[in-house]
Structure 1
């Protein structure tokens, strides 16, 4: 029996990565293929899902100071997974319209990491994406300073920060502030605060954030964690390694990946581009299913646009059904090509 690997990202606003993987698996199984489900993420929202979903919840300080019950995950191997969006996320603040971009705090993310450490985590993976904050991680640093450094040495826990951007620390407000509701005047104020914090972190911990790509992620939360000895790593590389992508590809006859929109950024450290690169290295044919496919990248992969193939009503109303149908059609072509 041939084996299909289902290794998608989420379809933002439509379906989680596990749901997309299940739709791909349904098509595979109907066609007589075995299927290995390997939902993935690149370090933003969806990271918890890629590791199997939450199995813990802790009440922490939300982005605007009110308590929130934040889900997270602790594995039997002592690896904990925390999404900053679940504790300090923009959605929790009511979106850009409801957010206070100057006062928004990352404290809840620090409290989640502290909860994981209290349960005995030896490694904590923190995903950065979808945050409401531009506090440079200072409120998280206040919570976690006593536990640091997070370098995994001498019996200490290791903290790995999954980033999907390379934004420098001082540019966090300029790049992300407006989408969090910051006015031009507030962006200037927040940038000045980040500059002050960079000096504080260098003086207090000896860490020069100017040399650390991605330290501006989540409004500088990446930089705050780096100041405490955490290691910032590309999100896709970290998550795909933990999930065992290369091992899964070695035993796969084909792979289907996907995301909501296939564009140039898809090939810049994101799930789809990473899966395609790994599949090519293993000589495994690959299909991309996407809600939409930008014209300038259509030739870079074998891809199906759900909007183009099935129309707007079906693509938005039943994306999982469309993904299943697109996968079925491609598997049929693959079978015909092998005959």
Structure 2
């Protein structure tokens, strides 16, 4: 049997490459005669650049940029030659990723997306006419304000000071900044490859759903929501959004799918004239997923937590959709499973398995993830691989 092993990273524990290796090791221990093809994937978050650069011919340019607290960290721009000019691929998590912060440093009140602005400037300096920005896994919640400020050459001030400072932004703080940031990207197509479809504000937005995992208390999450709402109001007053051709009214960029991605960086890129695409769809197209699935008898995918987000542009849902086009069954192995069987089947999964099924097992899996994932994959293989 030919098995395509195509997981995302298990956030906070394993990269997609490590996860694929652990699953493969477990599978081989139970089904040594199966042919395994390993395909680490990303939805635009951590690992996005590794996946794209592994699937495309191109050149990697090393740079350094500020992290969410302003410390210099290594990053990269991957350049490809495409029809219409040079494309730069960047991974926002390399500049604003939650993994760059110690647990005690996680505070979206002060973390900034300014480093992504520097990364975009590096892509433009490399001659890119199109920049694809993978969004996901951020440690920020500033609506892309820091990124816009950095593009405009404003390294200090409220816009670059983190999410909570946006509550005090006045029209004078943003006047001319967006125009300067747009000028820095003049003639360059910006594509935001987002890992989720959530808007910026509201119960489905960035602060309500993701601020807690970035270190925010419930009270701070509410304050960040108010700060982002104020920022949108001020920014819209100074720089009105383009008119919607159907309604004749200004577009509500904060309500568009993906605006809340990466702590609202999706919104910031839309303000700068960018367009949003599904990060996982873009990645799957780049790696030629249809051809690989067509050659496989079974697909095994996985991620850290199979939950409501998994149904909104994450790797598991993207792989299930692609496999559905070929009638190939998909098995999901996740660190934990928070979806019911009916919801998982609606995604297109033929089987779903959790590495950890209790709180104690969750702690153990986080402490020693590879053996746990390997063991679960071995047990799944005994169910799905035909015995000779």
TM-score, with length taken from structure 1: 0.81
Give the RMSD, CA atoms, in angstroms: 3.3
Which structure 2 residues correspond to residues 300-315 of structure 1 after superposition, within 5 A? 300=345, 301-307=350-356, 312=361, 315=365
Match of 2:282 among 220, 229, 238: 238
CA deviations over 1:150-207 (Å, ceiling 9, x no partner) = xxxxxx4332211122332344444444544452445433431232123334269986
Which structure 2 residues correspond to residues 9-24 of structure 1 after superposition, within 5 A? 9-24=8-23
Moved more, 27-36 or 233-242: 27-36
Match of 1:73 among 67, 70, 78: 78
- Give the match for residue 39 of structure 1: 40
Task: Say if 2:249 is the partner of 1:213.
Answer: no
**Partners in 2 of 1:68 and 1:240 — Cα distance?**
28
Q: Is the 8 A contact 1:174 1:191 kept in 2?
A: no
CA deviations over 1:24-73 (Å, ceiling 9, x no partner) = 44435963333332211222223233324795432112222332223453
Which stretches in structure 2 are left out of the alignment for 5+ residues? 152-180, 244-249
- Give the match for residue 82 of structure 1: 90
Q: Is the 8 A contact 1:43 1:128 kept in 2?
A: yes
**Partners in 1 of 2:107 and 2:306 — Cα distance?**
32
**Partners in 2 of 1:314 and 1:328 — Cα distance?**
22
**Partners in 2 of 1:161 and 1:37 — Cα distance?**
27
**Partners in 2 of 1:265 and 1:297 — Cα distance?**
16
- Give the match for residue 131 of structure 1: 138
Task: Say if 2:365 is the partner of 1:321.
Answer: no
Number of aligned residue pairs: 326
Match of 1:163 among 194, 206, 220: 194
- Give the match for residue 59 of structure 1: 64
Task: Say if 2:227 is the partner of 1:189.
Answer: yes
TM-score, with length taken from structure 2: 0.72
**Partners in 1 of 2:19 and 2:77 — Cα distance?**
21
**Partners in 2 of 1:83 and 1:120 — Cα distance?**
17
